[in-house]
Structure 1
Amino acid sequence: MKSRAGESAFTVRSSEIDYRGQATMPALVSYMQEAAWENTRDLGISMYDLLERGLTWVLQRMRVEMFRYPGHNDKIAVETWASGRERVFLHRDFRIYNQERELLGQATSVWLVMDVVKRQLVSVPDFILEVEVVPGSEPLPFAKGKLPQLQEAQHEQQMPVGWHDIDLNRHVTNTRYLQWALDTLPLHLLEQKQLQQVDIIFKAESILGDTVVSAAAPAGADGHTYLHRLTSQESGKELVQARTVWS
């Protein structure tokens, strides 16, 4: 079976906007993941298809670039397609359009397969490998390479993991990590600048009852780039690493 691109329609809701009336980055990432779910469902490799086999999808990395943010009640289309495969890494790309078919943003992502009982990553199973990757659009540059390490935090918050932070995989949903990373930044940055790019790597899972420590600091003197690190207070394990760029 050959893969094919999918497209999903969304309307920006009032609960998904910031004080400017624009969709938030976590909301946009949620749209992209919903579009990915619909596309994999049509290909017979959705999360539900995997769960029947004791497996699940996990997002390992996502790099998003926004050119313009949609506003409240705007209708957008999210196009997504499987863009490549490298060993256990499965790549998926996204493009976001408004009703006039103007490109608002784009993203590339990396996915892995996990055993839901052992909580361990596994080789890509044959029933997924049987879906031939035929990109519907030209692939975006893969998200590769390491991010710079945050050396000394200038901003820090503790986030207790509650019931509504947990997803179908019984661990903290990835959009919550993104939200926590952004919430840790200084108010003047959030009010005065616009998030242009985010590159986020998910390294380990956190579960109900944990406390996540979110730390951030500027990467340089210009104040346009910030580094982020989220760790488990209980184990000290690094959960997430990210870099954000503001304009």
Structure 2
Amino acid sequence: MPQFISPLEYSESFAVRTYEIDHCKRATIPALIRLMQEAAMQNVIQLGVSIWDLEAQNISWVLLRKSMQVFRLPGLGERIRVSTCPTGFDRRFTYRDYKIFGADEELLIQSSSAWLLMDTITRRMAPIPGFILDFEAKMPAPEKCLPRPEFRFPKFEQANFTKAFEVNWHDLDFNLHLNNTLYIQWMLEAMPPDMLQEKRVAGMEVLYRAESRWNDVLYTETQMLDEHTYLHRLMKKGEEKELAMALSRWE
């Protein structure tokens, strides 16, 4: 039986569908991140703090950091349970954990994330309102939470692999920004073919720096650090602006 760590926790079950798998019939990383995102969205709707609930106060959620460990990728048709819960505050940042379970509550994937609230008029960081801070009393104890996504990347020195993209209409989310799952998907595209075909992501850290909009021309660059570790960045062409950075580990 599922073990819930907080009354704020949200859980939903899914079956891995045919359009979510790779050539090995395993769910892809982008597909699983979309399920995490869906669970988080349903959770904030349930708690009354979704972006639509916050519109009147001119504030909105912004994802800053994500750390993920992958123990096993679920296969086609496999029933999985996606669980998510807000886990705390730190100055102006909020934290959220995700876990994906297989049959018999086998832990397949775990992920922690950091968020902030942005003033939608000034485009600056906004303080966390009191009615959101009030949730802290119901959040799980620290020992039941994942480590917060605090990491540093090595300096990006050279691109061993690169790939270009244009942001199309159907790449946008409900804020008319490039969907944050595509940041990760596109950074993982610029990889050696044998890694994509024969290996899988075992872990990943992602730092989101800036938003991207319709018709932006982007490119992703990947630097090989060693045979199992790669450094990625997503750039905006013309401005040479870094939109996101990531480090991936493969096995």
Per-residue deviation, 1:109: 0.5
Per-residue deviation, 1:239: 0.4
Give the match for residue 75 of structure 2: 71
Q: TM-score, normalised by structure 1?
A: 0.94
Per-residue deviation, 1:121: 2.5
Matches within 5 A, 1:1-247: 4-133=8-137, 134-135=139-140, 138-220=144-226, 223-247=227-251
Structure 1: distance between partners of 2:131 and 2:58: 13
Q: For structure 1, which segment, 67-76 or 133-142, has the greater mean C-alpha deviation from structure 2 after superposition? A: 133-142
Which AA in structure 1 matches 2:26?
Answer: Q
Per-residue deviation, 1:3: 5.8
Q: Give structure 2 stretches of 5+ with no counterpart.
A: 1-5
Cα pair 2:88 2:136 within 8 Å, conserved: no
Per-residue deviation, 1:233: 0.7
Cα pair 1:8 1:35 within 8 Å, conserved: yes
Provide the identity percentage.
Answer: 37
**How many residues matched?**
244
| SS, match of residue 53 in structure 2 | helix
Per-residue deviation, 1:38: 1.6
Structure 2: distance between partners of 1:167 and 1:117: 19
Q: Which runs of 4+ in 1 moved over 4 A?
A: none
**Alpha-carbon deviations, 1:162-188, whole Å to 9, x = none?**
111111111111111111011111111
Cα pair 1:210 1:234 within 8 Å, conserved: no
Q: Give structure 1 stretches of 5+ with no counterpart.
A: none
Per-residue deviation, 1:47: 2.3
Structure 2: distance between partners of 1:86 and 1:46: 20
Structure 2: distance between partners of 1:161 and 1:176: 10
